[in-house]
Chain A
Amino acid sequence: MSTTTIETVLKAPTERRWLPAAIVWVVLLSAPLWLPLVGGYTALASHVLVMGLVAMALNFLLGFTGVMSFGHAAYFGLGVYGAGLTLRYISNSTLLALLFGILLGGLVGTVLGALIARRRGVYFAMVTIAFGQIFYYIAYSWNSFTGGYDGLRGFSRQPLHFGPLVIDIQNNGTLFYYFVLAVFAICIGLMAFLLASPFGRTLIAVRENQRRARFLGIAVDRHIWLSFSISCYFAAAAGALYALLNNFADPMSLHYSLSGEIVIMAVMGGMRSFWGPLVGAAVFVILQDYISSMTENWMSCIGLLFVLVVMFFPRGLLGVLQRRGSP
């Protein structure tokens, strides 16, 4: 994906809006073919998709509703544990694990969102962190059920059965990558669909000007709550995929430090652009993978990069290209 291609594409007028999406899909669909040539591996690509999905889920709230959550790891992590616990204790169906992970994170987000949505600004952010940490401590302390500090092991994603057809995502990493990509595609397709609807435009209205939104008759608190809840379902979907990717549920997946990383991915990639957070997540995950093998201090490197991006490209990596493209 050369920079010049993206620039020319994004410079194009509105009739060619589909081109960035087309590029993203071609890159993602062909990833298993070219990844080995550049020293990558499919599990890394799956990891990028998972973090891309949670960053885009956060950005549904942050970039398209204008509300910051510093606790999104909680709903991601609940998705992780929901899927892991399902496979460990309830059923050996991968799809059921995915579903239960999504429901656990999504429903908890919906309930807590109702309490959070009335808060504004720094109070909103604080409450999201506080609620987030509760689940971290539960997972951390409940040794017998969640595996506590060591995390939950003893489960493994299972092949998919469609009648006589068996897709072995358990042992074939490439097939699993395409499974993750399919779930990713459904999730972000839904997000794009919602954002292009009258409901989605009310969220953007809330982002742009809450006072104006309120005096147009938009119930601002309710729309923030809905956006928060929707965002939590998608974050939980990413979490469930993460559990399936690693066959492991880590309490750190609930920790607020991960919440911070998700924010960094979204902001670094560009929270005003739909695909920005995916780019941010790709940069983050790939850097993490390469740099952490060289130095303990990989987080400082990412922190430095983040500061540079925020200082010189406040609209993020993709945002800067879009800005240049707009008349």
Chain B
Amino acid sequence: MNMLEVRNATKTFGSLVAVNGVSLSVAAGELRAIIGPNGAGKTTFFNLITGFFPPTSGAILVEGQDITRLSAQERVKLGMARTFQITEIFPELTVHENVRIAVEVGSGFALRPWIGRDAAATVRRATEETLGLCGLESKAGRSVGELSHGDQRAAEIAMALALKPRLLLLDEPTAGMGEQETYQIAGLIRRLHKQSNYTIVLIEHDMRVVFNLADRITVLDQGALLADGTPQQISENPAVQAAYLGTAE
């Protein structure tokens, strides 16, 4: 059974068809990259998967369960976590507090006015582990709003990971990053995929990152599915070369 399956998803904004009948299957443990020019509908497609808004038509399934009508937070409970193209964090809180809140909510403590000593210790351990995984230990006590752009993006990924998701969706995690930061984030995503066996869907504009990391690539163009295949197949696909890779260089 596929971890994620999208059937014929369409989203229109007035007369604009942002996502046009796109289908997609992502196997458990797979790292799938979604590419396409600006305005192709990639972020809108993520918004449909994660329940930001409902599709105009079509269906979304996670591990065979139809989640099309579930709210965003119900989907999180089913193991879905995402980051945004424009970083969404808790700017006035410290890095540690940002991740701690994610750990607590992910542990089902969102309504708890009190947790026991053991639970609190478990939360602390999970928070520190996640910070370590994302290379943020040394910045844990700093206000996240004061960090560099790259560290803020890493903190947002840490918050998503703190939910212990089964499906991780990253929207352009290297957007606006320099060489060094891009390299670090790519390394983190590779570790998550190879060592921790996360299922990851990744929107990415940096082709080196995409062709280095992805098991399979999906290409969107003007809201429609242009191609779907292994990196090898995609790089050899003439339609993709014409529509996207050619113009991107």
B-binding residues in A (CB < 8 A): 193-194, 197-202, 204-205, 208-209, 211-212, 214-220, 223, 226
B114 in the interface (beta carbon within 8 A): yes
Q: Of A199, A200, A215, A226, which one neighbours B88 at CB under 8 angstroms?
A: A215
Query: A205-B90, A208-B90, A216-B76 known; A197 and B101 CB under 8 Å?
Result: no
Pairwise interchain contact A197-B89, C-beta atoms closer than 8 A: no
Name the segment of B18-26, B28-36, B104-112 touching the other chain.
Answer: B104-112
Q: Of A199, A209, A218, A226, which one neighbours B73 at CB under 8 angstroms?
A: A218
Q: Of B50, B112, B159, which one neighbours A199 at CB under 8 angstroms?
A: B112
Instruction: Kindly list 7 other residue pairs between chains A and B, CB separation below 8 angstroms, not including A199-B110, A215-B81, A217-B110.
Output: A197-B113, A198-B112, A198-B115, A199-B112, A208-B91, A212-B88, A219-B110
CA distance A198 to B111 in the complex (A): 7
Name the segment of B3-11, B92-100, B241-249 touching the other chain.
Answer: B92-100
Instruction: Give A327 Cβ to nearest chain B Cβ, in Å.
Output: 9
Residue of B nearest to A200 (CB): B113
Q: Of A193, A199, A204, A209, which one neighbours B111 at CB under 8 angstroms?
A: A199
CA distance A212 to B82 in the complex (A): 9
Interface size on B, residues (CB 8 A): 31
Note all chain B residues with C-beta closer than 8 A to A204: 90, 93, 101
Query: A215-B82, A217-B76, A217-B163 known; A193 and B88 CB under 8 Å?
Result: no
Residue of A nearest to B159 (CB): A216
Query: A199-B112, A217-B106, A217-B110 known; A209 and B90 CB under 8 Å?
Result: yes
Pairwise interchain contact A197-B115, C-beta atoms closer than 8 A: yes
Pairwise interchain contact A214-B72, C-beta atoms closer than 8 A: yes
Pairwise interchain contact B113-A201, C-beta atoms closer than 8 A: no
Pairwise interchain contact A201-B100, C-beta atoms closer than 8 A: yes
Pairwise interchain contact A198-B110, C-beta atoms closer than 8 A: yes
CA distance A205 to B110 in the complex (A): 11
B211 in the interface (beta carbon within 8 A): no
Q: Of B76, B92, B112, which one neighbours A215 at CB under 8 angstroms?
A: B76
CA distance A223 to B92 in the complex (A): 20
CA distance A212 to B73 in the complex (A): 11
Note all chain B residues with C-beta closer than 8 A to A197: 112-115
Note all chain B residues with C-beta closer than 8 A to A201: 97, 100-101, 104
B170 in the interface (beta carbon within 8 A): no
Note all chain A residues with C-beta closer than 8 A to B73: 214-215, 217-220
CA distance A204 to B111 in the complex (A): 13
B224 in the interface (beta carbon within 8 A): no
**Could you mark each residue 37-70 of chain B with 1 if its beta carbon is under 8 Å from any beta carbon of chain A, else 0?**
0000000000000100000000000000000000
Pairwise interchain contact B76-A208, C-beta atoms closer than 8 A: no
Pairwise interchain contact B88-A218, C-beta atoms closer than 8 A: no
Instruction: Give B211 Cβ to nearest chain A Cβ, in Å.
Output: 28
Note all chain B residues with C-beta closer than 8 A to A217: 73, 76-77, 105-106, 110, 163
Pairwise interchain contact A211-B84, C-beta atoms closer than 8 A: yes
Residue of A nearest to B119 (CB): A198
CA distance A208 to B100 in the complex (A): 14
Pairwise interchain contact A209-B112, C-beta atoms closer than 8 A: no
CA distance A204 to B72 in the complex (A): 19
CA distance A59 to B39 in the complex (A): 42
Query: A193-B113, A217-B73 known; A198 and B90 CB under 8 Å?
Result: no
Pairwise interchain contact A215-B90, C-beta atoms closer than 8 A: no
Instruction: Give A64 Cβ to nearest chain B Cβ, in Å.
Output: 12
A-B residue pairs in contact (CB < 8 Å), sample of 28: A193-B114, A194-B113, A198-B104, A198-B113, A199-B112, A201-B100, A201-B101, A202-B111, A205-B90, A205-B101, A208-B92, A209-B89, A209-B90, A211-B84, A211-B88, A212-B159, A215-B50, A215-B72, A215-B76, A215-B81, A216-B159, A216-B163, A217-B73, A217-B76, A217-B110, A218-B73, A220-B73, A223-B110
